[in-house]
A and B are shown apart, each in its own frame.
Chain A
Amino acid sequence: MSKLRSNLVVIGIYIVFIVLLITTLYPMIWVVGTSLNPGNTLLVSKMFPDNPSLVHYVELLRNTDFMLWFGNTVKIAVANAFLSTILVAMTAYAFSRFRFKGRQQGLMTLLVLQMFPGFLSIMAIFVLLLQTKLLDTHLGLILIYVGGSISMGTWVMKGHFDTIPRSLEEAAFIDGASNKDAFFRIILPLSLPSITFVALNSFITPFMDFILPQIVLRSSEKMTLAQGLYSMVANETNSSFTVFAAGAVLVALPITLLYMYFQKYLIHGMTAGADKG
């Protein structure tokens, strides 16, 4: 009796799994299938096209601004990763290695600021950028990203710096090293995982984010990938779904691979920050 019940449970689980597998994979296979479908409308498109072709990819690269959006996004991502990492490293180093007046308060301020999602002040950011002539510029977007990455990144990186024993630097100081030497020769190489985490996080943000670009960037030649892909499907009457599918595959594939490859670093970075927070 109990054996039978157990078998039924296992069969039930497998049935659920197969249903879940179909619902999980269906959207992904649909996108890939549609992007390879030679036809233009969704109604005649098949998930497994009879004669797959890359025509939509060619169209995407030739007739849309996809490459432009891609270039914009990479530019913003690189600038953000570079600036954020430098700023966060400086800030975290100061908070981890020096004891100074206002240190506790500074750390608390960062913690509190981190709790408020930055885009809550979208209204203020919009008006401020409008009045400082930074609206519709990549610089404006980069500055906001960098400002937003400081609070979280600092806590993560400080947590990691704290785990590096001070005796290493003290020994170096005795040998005549300066603060600069200690930072670049000792701290930096030893905290590579958390630096990778901050850099990667700020690199990926512009690829994933939609709201801030939508606020800051207005003209089509300045758009990022997220905005560009949205504009392809926002309009119900246009028939660029197939081209959109090609774009979605091109964006999703590298990011998914990047994510899976760096998963270790990401998880490690998060836990390092959380443990010592």
Chain B
Amino acid sequence: MHVNLDDRRYRTKAALLSALCIGLGQLYNRQYWKGFFWMVIAQLFFWTYYPIAIKGIAGLITLGDVPTRIIKGKVVQGDHSIFLLINGLITLVIILVFLGMYILNIVDAKRNGAIRDEGGQVLGFLASLKKAKFRNFPYLLLLPATFFVLFVTVMPLVFNVLIAFTNYSAPDHIPDRSLVDWIGFASFYDLFTQEAWRSTFVGIAVWNIIWATVSTVTVFFGGLILALMVNHPRVRFKKFWRTAFILPWAVPQFISILVFRVLLNGSFGPVNDLIVKLGFSPVPWLSDPTMAKVSIILVNLWFSTPFLMALMSGVLTTMPRDLYEAAEVDGASWRQKFTRITLPLVLLATAPILIMQFAFNFNNFNLIYLLTDGNPNQPDYFYAGSTDILISWIFKMTLNQSQFNMASAVSIIMFILIAGFSLWNYKRMKSNQEEDWV
């Protein structure tokens, strides 16, 4: 026993006791009910969950070692690797929650010990419960959302990353017929070194970037030119034109894409019908690889321009008139006014939206899948057609071909691309804002 009172005595001892056994520090702080509850719950939790947790972690490491096999003509179920993987993940989450509780328990013991160090009175059970309820109200509000985000967004993301490092794919590694194993970076290695995978990946990625860039640029200039024309001082019935041109924007996109799929059909589509009637040869809108890509860009132009036009009209009305007047005094030509004043100002105002458009188009699954389904066929590609973009390729690998590990490897590379892009964009926006505030 210390004779000299160390003024940190209670808090240190309480924290140490709680670290030793959950609830012990609270008992030492004479919060008997609280300590008792902490202790009983922790012990119950630990001893029932401990064996399951060990099994879960073991399963996560081995992904199962008993394959399904046939003994005396009967099928004997083996381990299911993917179940083991998911269970292992859930186990990890629960262990993290338990660790959180453990740390909370130490912090609580230490805080109450500190109150005693300073000669204060620790709160009784009911009083501390009341205080906890008051202080933790926002956490209570956030609980359901956290649960959803954890299981619907974060868990799939982690799971997705993990799958990329296994050989989970058809035909040889599909549970519960056979086992799945960890294979490290082999999927990524194959993606970049095996000729068929590499040419598919590079081909699709290049087209994906070209598509996203061209679609953003064409829609930008389409919208700008249309807005400039509608806002031309001598054009009459402005409201009528605006309403007419905005219509494609309000029609649900998947419907207009499906309508174009029928309109542009090579053999009985009305557009080719019309072209033939006019005496020209039919255009292979969706059946020729290059023409299909052009069609995709044109269809996108059809339903994205109206939105940009509406946006640009708004921007154009806020343009400072005195700039143009000054330019006119200086004898600037129409072209000079456009490239020196209008274009930079519009670009500045619409830059965030253009970047959003780029990111959206980069992953515009609906347009590709509904318009061409990735076709026409491209014999050199693995599980993809010539108009497929990365996201529709992942979709096909997952749903039709069960190439789960390769699909998730590709999606991780996409993650990195998009994350880098968003981060760069976020930083740029932030620096922009700061400039504005100065």
Q: Which residues of A contact B (CB under 8 A)?
A: 6, 9-10, 13-14, 16-17, 20-21, 23-25, 27-28, 30-31, 41-43, 45, 47, 87-88, 90-91, 93-95, 97-98, 100, 103, 106, 109-110, 113, 115-128, 131-132, 143-144, 146-148, 150-151, 154, 179, 207-208, 210-211, 214-215, 226, 229-230, 233-234, 236, 241, 244-245, 248, 251-252, 255-256, 259-260
Contact = CB atoms under 8 A, between A and B. Distances in A.
B148 A87 contact: yes
B252 A251 contact: yes
Contact of B369 (A6, A13, A210, A259): A210
A32 to B, nearest CB: 11
B338 to A, nearest CB: 13
A106 B395 contact: no
A127 B403 CA distance: 12
Contact of B255 (A103, A110, A215, A252): A252
Contacts of A154: 145
B73 interface: no
Contacts of A144: 152
Interface string B381-420: 0000000000100110111000010011001001100110
B244 interface: yes
Nearest to B228: A13
Interface of B: 82-83, 86, 137-139, 141-142, 144-145, 148-149, 151-157, 159-160, 163, 226, 229, 232, 234-235, 241, 244-245, 247-248, 250-256, 258-263, 265, 267-270, 273, 302, 363, 365-366, 369-370, 373, 391, 394-395, 397-399, 404, 407-408, 411, 414-415, 418-419, 422
A230 B47 CA distance: 53
Contact of B259 (A16, A30, A179, A236): A30
Contacts of A131: 82-83, 86
B234 to A, nearest CB: 5
Given A131-B83, A230-B258, A116 B415 contact: yes
Given A16-B229, A128-B156, A128-B159, A91 B363 contact: no
B259 A248 contact: yes
Contact of B262 (A10, A122, A241): A241
Given A121-B157, A128-B155, A230-B370, A151 B149 contact: yes
